[in-house]
């Protein structure tokens, strides 16, 4: 993963000047481990909004390009909504998509810093899965109306149906073609993607996007894909991540605890698992650096590929008509 250069003192001054109280922002360090954005920790010196001593500058680059501004708007809307609903999330301090001048070429948000970091090595895996399930349940309790939050429009069905044929990332994996066709059938047949059962959905809910401190969750981060959608999508996606890490029992416990906690059925779980399995393509190995940076340096790309292929085969079988 390539990251952007740290923000200059001049650009940080421009951001600070757009904050209430005009605090000074000082660069501390860059976070590693993310796959989408460049996140920098900054110290807030002076009259900070809400008296936060530190903040995270989140820039939608270098991979985002033209999609950056829409992602920033979506993420800010989701963070505000999740906070209102009582979910643990960073506070939004500033957005480049507001009315002020744009200090950076790319879209950016300034978020309150939350102490904690991703945790992929629990000894009590079931307790860990239990907390993850409760965090998902809290997100899915947030009701969101389409009119109320047009920024959170769900693009999943539209994006799948707009693709006329498998793209390169599907064609270069031996199981990619089968996944692409199955995903399309499931949306087309209405197994998933219907308009009922809609809540706030994170859409990138996996252990690496939660911050933990002393075995408790302090924040859910990385909301740039959040939408008004089917909550089962988050559950299947998070469980798929646990399977890649070899934590099959944790995945089982996660889903069971979620059902117990919410009373929801997991209709469409396997179908959403197909959608989840499309995400790492063309090669789950490209996600390896993120896990290696966040506590799993021993993982190998081949081990991930074996688990991934095994799961794809199982889920293709389970969803065959």
Ligand X SMILES: Nc1ncnc2c1ncn2[C@@H]1O[C@H](COP(=O)(O)OP(=O)(O)O)[C@@H](O)[C@H]1O
- Phi then psi for residue 290, to 5 deg, are -65, -45
> Among residues 26, 224, 261, 19, which one has the least CA distance to residue 106?
224
Its sign, for the CA torsion 26, 29, 34, 38, is: positive
Q: Which does 111 bind (CB under 5 to 8 A by kind): Mg ion, ligand X, none?
A: ligand X
Q: Which one of 34-42, 156-164, 182-190, 253-261 is the stretch in contact with ligand X (CB under 6 A)?
A: 34-42
Q: Is 287 in the site for ligand X (CB under 6 A)?
A: no
Q: Rule CB under 6 A: which of 198-237 touch ligand X? A: 209, 211, 221-222
Tokens of 6: 């740290």
For the CB of residue 259, give the shortest distance to ligand X in the complex, in Å: 27
Residue located via tokens 């481990």: 33
- Judged by beta carbon, residue 285 or residue 309, the one nearer ligand X is 285
Tokens of 236: 């299947």
d(CA 165, CA 222): 29
Structural element, H or E, at residue 109: strand 108-112
Half-sphere exposure of 311 (CA within 13 A, CB side): 29
If one counts every other C-beta atom within 10 angstroms of the C-beta of residue 200, the result is: 26
Q: Is 90 in the site for ligand X (CB under 6 A)?
A: yes
For the CB of residue 23, give the shortest distance to ligand X in the complex, in Å: 17
Residue nearest to ligand X (CB): 34
Among 6, 36, 49, 62, binds ligand X (CB under 6 A): 36
Q: How many residues bind ligand X (CB under 6 A)?
A: 18
- Judged by beta carbon, residue 33 or residue 100, the one nearer Mg ion is 33
For the CB of residue 168, give the shortest distance to ligand X in the complex, in Å: 23
Q: Which does 113 bind (CB under 5 to 8 A by kind): Mg ion, ligand X, none?
A: ligand X
- Judged by beta carbon, residue 271 or residue 281, the one nearer ligand X is 281
Q: Which one of 26-34, 102-110, 176-184, 239-247 is the stretch in contact with ligand X (CB under 6 A)?
A: 26-34
Q: Is 111 in the site for ligand X (CB under 6 A)?
A: yes
d(CA 3, CA 174): 31
Q: Which does 118 bind (CB under 5 to 8 A by kind): Mg ion, ligand X, none?
A: ligand X
Q: Is 118 in the site for ligand X (CB under 6 A)?
A: yes
Which residues sit opposite 219 in a β-bridge? 211
Tokens of 96: 């480049």
- Judged by beta carbon, residue 31 or residue 191, the one nearer ligand X is 31
3-state secondary structure of 281: coil
d(CA 157, CA 139): 21
Q: Is 39 in the site for ligand X (CB under 6 A)?
A: yes
Tokens of 250: 């944790």
Q: Is 68 in the site for ligand X (CB under 6 A)?
A: no
d(CA 136, CA 121): 19
d(CA 264, CA 123): 28
Half-sphere exposure of 313 (CA within 13 A, CB side): 7
**What residue ranges bind Mg ion (CB under 5 A)?**
34, 209, 222
Q: Which does 269 bind (CB under 5 to 8 A by kind): Mg ion, ligand X, none?
A: none
Among 13, 24, 31, 289, binds ligand X (CB under 6 A): 31
Among 14, 26, 33, 309, binds ligand X (CB under 6 A): 33
- Interface residue list for ligand X (CB under 6 A): 31, 33-37, 39, 56, 90, 111, 113-114, 117-118, 209, 211, 221-222
């Amino acid at each position: 993963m390539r990251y952007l250069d740290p923000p200059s003192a001049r650009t940080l001054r421009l951001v600070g000047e757009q904050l209430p109280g005009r605090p000074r922002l000082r660069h501390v360090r860059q976070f590693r481990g993310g796959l989408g954005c460049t996140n920098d920790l900054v110290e807030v010196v002076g009259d900070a909004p809400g008296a936060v001593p530190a903040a995270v500058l989140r820039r939608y680059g270098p991979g985002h390009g033209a999609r950056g501004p829409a992602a920033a708007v979506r993420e800010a809307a989701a963070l505000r909504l999740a906070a209102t609903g009582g979910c643990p999330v960073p506070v939004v301090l500033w957005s480049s998509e507001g009315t002020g001048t744009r200090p950076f070429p790319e879209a950016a948000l300034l978020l309150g810093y939350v102490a904690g970091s991703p945790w992929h090595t629990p000894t009590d895996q079931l307790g860990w899965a239990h907390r993850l399930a409760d965090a998902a349940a809290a997100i899915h309790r947030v009701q969101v109306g389409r009119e109320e939050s047009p920024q959170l429009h769900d693009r999943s069905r539209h994006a799948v149906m707009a693709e006329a044929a498998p793209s390169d990332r599907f064609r270069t994996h031996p199981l990619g073609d089968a996944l692409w066709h199955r995903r399309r059938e499931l949306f087309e047949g209405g197994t998933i993607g219907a308009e009922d059962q809609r809540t706030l959905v994170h859409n990138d809910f996996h252990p690496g996007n939660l911050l933990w401190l002393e075995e408790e969750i302090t924040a859910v981060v990385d909301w740039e894909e959040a939408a008004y959608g089917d909550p089962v999508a988050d559950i299947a996606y998070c469980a798929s991540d646990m399977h890649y890490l070899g934590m099959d029992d944790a995945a089982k416990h996660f889903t069971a605890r979620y059902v117990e906690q919410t009373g929801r059925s997991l209709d469409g779980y396997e179908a959403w698992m197909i959608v989840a399995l499309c995400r790492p393509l063309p090669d789950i190995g490209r996600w390896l650096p993120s896990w290696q940076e966040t506590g799993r340096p021993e993982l190998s790309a081949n081990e991930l590929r074996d688990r991934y292929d095994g799961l794809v085969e199982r889920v293709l079988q389970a969803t065959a008509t």
